[in-house]
Amino acid sequence: MQSVVSANEPLFWADRDPHLYGVVNEGPVIRFQEHRLPGPRRIGIIVCLLFAILPVAFSIAMVGELFQEASPGVIQTVEEGCGEFHVESGELLPGKLYCVPSSGPEVISLESLEVSDDQHIRERFGTEDVYEYRWEAVDDYVVFGEIFDGKYECMTLLPQNNLGDDWTYADLSIRAGQYNPDWCGFDVDDSARNYSSDEPHPYDGIWLYDVEYGDPMNRLSMVKFDGLDVLLQEGETEVYMRDGGAPADAEGFSGLLCITVPISLLFLAGADPRKRALYFHVDAGKIVRRRVGRWPSFQTTWADVDFSSASLQRTVRIQEHVEHDENGPGRRWTTQHPGFDLRISRKNGPIIPVFFDDGGNLMLHESTILRLLKGLNLGEEHFHSHMKEAPEQQSAIKGASPAQMDDEDANAPGVAPSEGDSGAFWNIGEGKNP
């Protein structure tokens, strides 16, 4: 996934407390991250959690009310067949009937699908979300290994055309990881791959059963690639729907859930307490912005980065603040933030991964900057040479700045320009650090 970012907009704004940030060396990957959460962000997490409780509590109350008011006659409607919104189908599994949505499989349209010569696949959803994984056929099964946090997270599927005449439910319900190749769970080779959109998906047009989880005697989960369309199919037996099905009034209930559940997820994502980080893949020439840890989060990737061009530039960033009151926006003021921009060139134009806000103390972030430059295979002279030029650069910038800063303005909280996070998973960016 690639993003277009203004050349003057930092991906990460490092505040004036040098203890909040650090550099972690992970071999070919250098991670610049928060060490602890700033006070305003901790308050934001608490607020998001409080707002998430409201829609969750409302959903629970509605579930209890609907089941309390459900009549036997309504439940009998489900017992008589697949229900109003499902039809019976024998196409999912030979000799077995399942209830499937009458509207057909869910369809997800891809922006592009590319296949590499080393059995990797890259799918794009829209213009930003990217899903990249490796595949390998093992016996009658195929293993997909999603690239997540620098490792392969694997799942096993069974192609429908590999299901023989003498199949049993044991073929559709295997032990998790039973057919995993030896590369599952290990680090991903970050070397450049030659992707091509000329080749179709290796299992295009074939239904694939999810065989590691679930109960295939009662429920099936399937996926099929059809050109740039991804089809998702769920099938349930009539008995399974009758025993675990919802009342017919669930249509209105589902509509409420479609509102309350996404709202809850958004607030919960905003309450994500994990540290934010920039991953510098020096050998691969890319920068990835995501949360630290193994759990999914939004991530954005900037490729074609020339790390040898990294330089420090003294600058003063201007921020505008608005004081609100009951009648709307009130007083406006600006603050100045002197510091260092870490500037790096790339194919689509330069980017600024980090702005180090030092308040005029040139040595405030010295140890962090030196560790980061060392991880990028750059010498300390990149820092010391700019230290000599910094006073002249700072004076010139201040002289050209239209903003005036008094004692009150200097202590006013700053909010840096932010850019919304994006990626394969939900997450909420907040605060000044995008």
- Chain segment 44-91, per-residue pLDDT in tens: 657 666 766 777 677 676 666 656 554 444 443 444 578 788 888 888
pLDDT bin (cut points 50, 70, 90) of residue 381 is confident
Are 221 and 148 in contact, with CB atoms under 8 Å apart? no
Dist. CA 10–CA 418, nearest whole Å: 8
| Residue-wise pLDDT tens digits, 37-57 | 555 656 665 766 676 677 767
Residues 351 and 7 sit within 8 Å (Cβ to Cβ): yes
pLDDT at 426 over 90: no
Q: Which two tokens stand for residue 377?
A: 């295979």
Structure tokens at 37: 């959460």
pLDDT confidence tier of residue 167, bands split at 50, 70 and 90: confident
The phi, psi pair for 405, rounded to 5°, reads -125, 125
* pLDDT, greater one: 295 or 92: 92
User: Between vectors from CA 216 to CA 211 and to CA 220, what angle results, nearest 5°?
Assistant: 80
Per-residue pLDDT of 228-274, as tens digits, reads 999 998 888 888 777 654 444 445 556 665 776 677 666 666 556 67
Per-residue pLDDT for 34 more than 60?
A: yes
The mean of the pLDDT values for the chain is 76
Q: How many CB atoms sit inside 10 A of residue 102's CB?
A: 12
User: Which pLDDT score is estimated for 159?
Assistant: 93
228 to each of 129, 132, 208, how far by Cα in Å? 15, 15, 16
**pTM for the model:** 0.43
* Alpha-carbon 95 to chain mean position: 40
Residue 273 vs residue 314, higher pLDDT: 314
Six-digit token string for 129: 């979300």
For residue 188, give Cα distances in angstroms to 22, 33, 98, 155: 24, 21, 39, 16
Helices (H), 142-249: 169-172, 238-244
Backbone angles phi, psi at 300, to 5 degrees: -125, 135
pLDDT at 169 over 70: yes
Q: How far is CA 123 from the centre of its chain?
A: 14
Amino acid at the residue 292: V
**pLDDT digit string, tens, across residues 182-214:** 999 999 987 788 899 889 999 999 999 999 876
